[in-house]
Structure 1
């Protein structure tokens, strides 16, 4: 070892540390793969996971050490600059080892929650330390302890290792240093790129399975995190991931997929038009305009609702299905709350980018139901038991028509506060107080009420429900409590002054988790949704419905005529079978499903794949389908990015219907 140390000189500490890091990555990946043995075996992925994983690890190490290796090659020695380089290298080695160990240690918990390695969501949550720390302390104490112990161990051993490997280094002669530096940089760059192609190594190059987790196992968590940070630096567009298609075709197909007469469109549907989907929408109900309330349920998938074939955990939702207008085949647009908010408040179709709730360009002057109703003299508000700045909600809402933020700071003496804020009972009591006061003022109102009790670590008050299982803080018990709180509100609302003049919809933002081996696990996108209130008759609706269809339907039921760019269907009208569809986005994968369960999936860097979905077994089987369906799916997959880029979905100065 001493002979090797003498020959390598200033490069020796980097080589030894690199080998140790490579061992850490390999052991971690092997352990995770054994944990997911069945899924790796089903994907026939053992060789690919380990071999491609080695490639990713070498690239990661090259990125980590290419600059330190260059500096050590040029500046090492016993002079002041050399000593500074040694101390800098020791700090860098210690930091690198800590980051790598920590990220691998937290990976299992992240996989359990999201079925993926740490990604951009890991970074986005760090923006909200108060809420996240409360969540972690409430439900992940063991994980926190493990992470702390791993960090202390990694920092301690890393510092000791850095001392040992940097002691007694030989110094390269000055005349050879430029050549050594050139070789070191060449090796580092080649290792980081891991290819002679135009683009350097990226996750798509080593992806091979239809199971996203298996592809993620090929990565290491430090690489996954850094790649996510890089991607966040620029907004993502569908053009970066899916096969390109002409904008005129996109617009034509999207307009044809809308369920309105061509004469209702304000423009001709060309790329040069300011808003190709802008159209005049006439409400079915033409009486006095009604209030609109959206009750958005956190993580309440169809699998928790007996009426939809799930567990018997939501008796009050089941009761609403027997009393109101219940949708039996409605699917969420995504797997995050902001994606659900995007769908039900703006009607904007999902994209590979973040939800418009979080994009800088859409923080003002973006179309929303609140902006439309605010112009019509409605009081527009958001009611939330937590901090409304979470996930950038407050900024987006205030910039796009929401005039009133009723979050935790406005709650007076809530009975129970958990990791995410006031419990759902407090939330609905607050909503009832607000609606009663607005009703007394004869002020029409729109309110988005967003629950949070059914969010890990599943904090809710004691002695409210009969627990479904033990321990108390499980998703099943949280779902049951969320349903209990909803039921109490509905009974109170039925006896209120605002009931007869309000259209309510209760709908989930997304399912609890969207894991599994499918790129887009369709069964985990199915959610409950019921419209109810004064004048809403019972109806069991088995049409295929998207979250995007709720917004135009609510406007129609409330008697709101408007000119807007919404592409969703007004479900008060007949929707031809061939136009019934849902669109689902999971990360960078987009799925389009037709009424007869034909599915088109677009994944990064791949041609469209087509399937037949079996809702009973929740399985996709490969099946060729008509090119016309693929073309329409393709256009809709591209529409959101095109509309965002070209400002097709901006707010208007007036939402009044133009003369026909």
Structure 2
């Protein structure tokens, strides 16, 4: 029967399904051997990876061929040998092969970058075609790639032709009853797998690499697309709302804090001083700056001599952790001082305007606030978010500006101010020159200013102006060196300005360069550097306490003696009640690290607990206290509820 079907109008369909599964098997095998040193090699895990993986591959193959399957079902027998059917069949094959081969190539490149199947990041990237297409074009020989794919398609055509696949596909003689049986069987499998197979079914190992190898890229992509936002209350373990807020209010209570009586709120007054000290603030948020790039954290490659020298003369946080693995997560943490909520960052969500941000605290104190970005702030909804929260926008402005819903001023960085540009934006030196020019203007107008600056040079394709450093462009190490060089030039120029003496400069990473590791939450890949310069009383000092990005500004406000209304989850690290802890998250998993105890929350109300050894980066399963689990849950549950219910609004 099966042999007969392979010699019927279903010949091309069935051969494509078989070919797709074989290609997917080859890709999975490749990933498997690439990760031999990172997975637990055993017969059981091997069977799980390749058997469950084959189900994902079959599901994708059936999904891709669904429309063609229905077409073969309804195509009258008398039309099988027509020219129209031949054109439709070959056009379908060409388009499907093109998409399939491009997706396989994309999977390989995505794995090189993230050591993961397609996920939430891939969904985001699909939206921003300019940056992504140009990034690919600058990183890889795109014409050669597309040419190679076309050649592969032609070879597949000739292979099918030599095996008489097309000859059988245009063969008459399969009546409607038999077609119902064949197409119906395929449709039954398609629907069954669609409803019962979930991407999370692959997450049955404690080894993240094994789980990722098991999955299929296209299946994972659509799963991530569907789960743009995860409702914490529906998918995660939770505790009674009132209890959760009581726990958090207790955690956030400091000796100088007075909470407002409003129920289910964290709003409070914090008294640090008279606010008479009004320094300007420039925060340089450095793209993908892992702590382990710096000599201070053990690097021996001499990649960041300027950063290391600044760390020696400023206030250095040696044990700070990012909340996420993407730029928008870093922006969320540094502007809202909030733990990561499941799904996409608040920066990318709707209803994210007029929030109680760090910027709103500066605005109430009479500061002008501005967001600087070397690329197009349309990317990742940055302009809408910062503009909607009172920041002026200074960006490259490559997208159409009509339709921006925020009311603040937007300034486009002009071509005359750009010496070098790649897919992601202008080089750091050019961006810093714009920052200095705007600081000069604010100073001449006697304005206090707070600038949120986001760099782009330390990002694939790792290109930058030539003759700046000795290393050639194109590698992460070279990009780090250029990033360090440009930062040094910025500090050098800033020191010549009249406003510098009254300006605090913060250097902090948005996230690490890589998030991949053996564990779902790889704690070491969240470790970032943070340096504060130009606070006279806090030079040549270090803070070694475990802390989070969200603690940066509450600590700074304490150091400069500011009193303010807080809706922030961050705490002053110098407060006697400060508990060393960090918040870490992916778009699904949420982790809370307190000292060496790690709690990881996941969908389906999963709660996993470990002891974390920072020296060996090991997570050992361990039953932590009920109190710690509830504290972890309360942090994320209340943060989610405050945002969804308007509790973060001004």
Report the TM-score when normalising by structure 2: 0.89
Higher mean alpha-carbon deviation, 422-431 vs 11-20, is at 11-20
CA 1:371–1:295 in 2, change beyond 3 Å: closer, same or farther?
A: same
Select the residue among 257, 262, 266 that pairs with 2:260.
266
Q: For 2:28, what is the secondary structure of its paired residue?
A: helix
What corresponds to 1:273 in structure 2? none
Looking at structure 2, the residues matched to 641 and 3 of structure 1 have their Cα atoms a distance apart, in angstroms, of 56
CA 1:144–1:136 in 2, change beyond 3 Å: closer, same or farther?
A: farther
Once the two structures are TM-superposed, the CA of residue 158 in structure 1 deviates from its matched residue by 5.3
Looking at structure 2, the residues matched to 285 and 545 of structure 1 have their Cα atoms a distance apart, in angstroms, of 26
Q: For 2:266, what is the secondary structure of its paired residue?
A: coil
Once the two structures are TM-superposed, the CA of residue 590 in structure 1 deviates from its matched residue by 1.7
Once the two structures are TM-superposed, the CA of residue 12 in structure 1 deviates from its matched residue by 4.2
Select the residue among 262, 271, 283 that pairs with 1:282.
271
Once the two structures are TM-superposed, the CA of residue 326 in structure 1 deviates from its matched residue by 1.1
Once the two structures are TM-superposed, the CA of residue 481 in structure 1 deviates from its matched residue by 1.7
Looking at structure 2, the residues matched to 518 and 180 of structure 1 have their Cα atoms a distance apart, in angstroms, of 43
Looking at structure 2, the residues matched to 82 and 249 of structure 1 have their Cα atoms a distance apart, in angstroms, of 71
Asked if the contact 1:330–1:529 (Cα under 8 Å) also holds between the matched residues in 2, the reply is yes
CA 1:191–1:417 in 2, change beyond 3 Å: closer, same or farther?
A: closer
CA 1:297–1:127 in 2, change beyond 3 Å: closer, same or farther?
A: same
Residue deviations 1:437-492 (CA, integer Å, cap 9, x gap): 2111111111111111111111122232343xxx5432122112211221222233
Once the two structures are TM-superposed, the CA of residue 508 in structure 1 deviates from its matched residue by 0.6
Higher mean alpha-carbon deviation, 438-447 vs 64-73, is at 64-73
Residue deviations 1:167-188 (CA, integer Å, cap 9, x gap): 1132314x66666665553343
What corresponds to 1:456 in structure 2? 460
Q: For 1:236, what is the secondary structure of its paired residue?
A: coil
- 1:99-118 alignment runs, 5 A limit: 99-118=99-118
Looking at structure 1, the residues matched to 159 and 31 of structure 2 have their Cα atoms a distance apart, in angstroms, of 28
Higher mean alpha-carbon deviation, 370-379 vs 83-92, is at 83-92
Select the residue among 342, 355, 358 that pairs with 1:352.
342
What corresponds to 1:637 in structure 2? 636
Q: For 1:487, what is the secondary structure of its paired residue?
A: helix
2:440 is the alignment partner of 1:439:
no
CA 1:388–1:191 in 2, change beyond 3 Å: closer, same or farther?
A: closer
Asked if the contact 1:346–1:368 (Cα under 8 Å) also holds between the matched residues in 2, the reply is yes
CA 1:335–1:285 in 2, change beyond 3 Å: closer, same or farther?
A: farther
Looking at structure 2, the residues matched to 319 and 341 of structure 1 have their Cα atoms a distance apart, in angstroms, of 26
What corresponds to 2:484 in structure 1? 483
Residue deviations 1:122-146 (CA, integer Å, cap 9, x gap): 23223323322332232222x7633
Looking at structure 2, the residues matched to 157 and 563 of structure 1 have their Cα atoms a distance apart, in angstroms, of 66
Looking at structure 1, the residues matched to 338 and 201 of structure 2 have their Cα atoms a distance apart, in angstroms, of 31
Looking at structure 2, the residues matched to 422 and 63 of structure 1 have their Cα atoms a distance apart, in angstroms, of 41
Q: For 1:608, what is the secondary structure of its paired residue?
A: strand
Looking at structure 1, the residues matched to 547 and 143 of structure 2 have their Cα atoms a distance apart, in angstroms, of 41
Q: For 2:53, what is the secondary structure of its paired residue?
A: helix
Q: For 1:37, what is the secondary structure of its paired residue?
A: coil
- 1:552-591 alignment runs, 5 A limit: 552-558=554-560, 560-571=562-573, 573-576=574-577, 579-591=579-591
Q: For 1:168, what is the secondary structure of its paired residue?
A: coil
Residue deviations 1:482-511 (CA, integer Å, cap 9, x gap): 112212222332332112322221101111
CA 1:442–1:186 in 2, change beyond 3 Å: closer, same or farther?
A: same
Aligned length: 628
Once the two structures are TM-superposed, the CA of residue 262 in structure 1 deviates from its matched residue by 9.5
CA 1:425–1:529 in 2, change beyond 3 Å: closer, same or farther?
A: same
Residue deviations 1:44-66 (CA, integer Å, cap 9, x gap): 62111101111111222232334
Looking at structure 1, the residues matched to 363 and 144 of structure 2 have their Cα atoms a distance apart, in angstroms, of 48
Q: For 1:447, what is the secondary structure of its paired residue?
A: strand
Looking at structure 2, the residues matched to 350 and 153 of structure 1 have their Cα atoms a distance apart, in angstroms, of 43
Looking at structure 2, the residues matched to 177 and 116 of structure 1 have their Cα atoms a distance apart, in angstroms, of 39
CA 1:531–1:351 in 2, change beyond 3 Å: closer, same or farther?
A: same
Asked if the contact 2:257–2:270 (Cα under 8 Å) also holds between the matched residues in 1, the reply is no
2:232 is the alignment partner of 1:238:
yes
Q: For 1:354, what is the secondary structure of its paired residue?
A: coil
> How large is the RMSD of aligned CA atoms in angstroms?
2.8
Once the two structures are TM-superposed, the CA of residue 335 in structure 1 deviates from its matched residue by 0.6
Once the two structures are TM-superposed, the CA of residue 354 in structure 1 deviates from its matched residue by 0.9
Looking at structure 2, the residues matched to 413 and 220 of structure 1 have their Cα atoms a distance apart, in angstroms, of 45
Once the two structures are TM-superposed, the CA of residue 517 in structure 1 deviates from its matched residue by 0.5
2:160 is the alignment partner of 1:171:
no
What corresponds to 1:217 in structure 2? 213
Residue deviations 1:147-180 (CA, integer Å, cap 9, x gap): 541255237735984744521132314x666666
CA 1:3–1:21 in 2, change beyond 3 Å: closer, same or farther?
A: closer
Looking at structure 1, the residues matched to 90 and 637 of structure 2 have their Cα atoms a distance apart, in angstroms, of 48
Q: For 1:299, what is the secondary structure of its paired residue?
A: coil
What corresponds to 1:413 in structure 2? 417
Once the two structures are TM-superposed, the CA of residue 429 in structure 1 deviates from its matched residue by 1.8
Asked if the contact 2:79–2:85 (Cα under 8 Å) also holds between the matched residues in 1, the reply is no
- 1:522-561 alignment runs, 5 A limit: 522-538=523-539, 539-558=541-560, 560-561=562-563
Q: For 1:599, what is the secondary structure of its paired residue?
A: strand
Looking at structure 2, the residues matched to 354 and 365 of structure 1 have their Cα atoms a distance apart, in angstroms, of 19
Q: For 2:482, what is the secondary structure of its paired residue?
A: helix
What corresponds to 2:330 in structure 1? 340
2:296 is the alignment partner of 1:292:
no
Residue deviations 1:19-49 (CA, integer Å, cap 9, x gap): 2222222222122212222334447621111
Q: Which runs of 5+ in 2 are unaligned?
A: 398-411
Asked if the contact 1:503–1:554 (Cα under 8 Å) also holds between the matched residues in 2, the reply is no
What corresponds to 1:496 in structure 2? 497
Looking at structure 1, the residues matched to 393 and 525 of structure 2 have their Cα atoms a distance apart, in angstroms, of 33
Residue deviations 1:215-270 (CA, integer Å, cap 9, x gap): 121122221222222223xx222345432333223222222221435961113443
Q: For 1:637, what is the secondary structure of its paired residue?
A: helix
Q: For 1:563, what is the secondary structure of its paired residue?
A: strand
What corresponds to 1:256 in structure 2? 250
CA 1:245–1:67 in 2, change beyond 3 Å: closer, same or farther?
A: farther
Q: For 1:45, what is the secondary structure of its paired residue?
A: helix
Looking at structure 2, the residues matched to 581 and 505 of structure 1 have their Cα atoms a distance apart, in angstroms, of 21
Looking at structure 2, the residues matched to 28 and 181 of structure 1 have their Cα atoms a distance apart, in angstroms, of 28
Looking at structure 2, the residues matched to 285 and 297 of structure 1 have their Cα atoms a distance apart, in angstroms, of 32
Once the two structures are TM-superposed, the CA of residue 68 in structure 1 deviates from its matched residue by 3.5
Select the residue among 430, 439, 457 that pairs with 2:434.
430
Looking at structure 1, the residues matched to 395 and 190 of structure 2 have their Cα atoms a distance apart, in angstroms, of 53
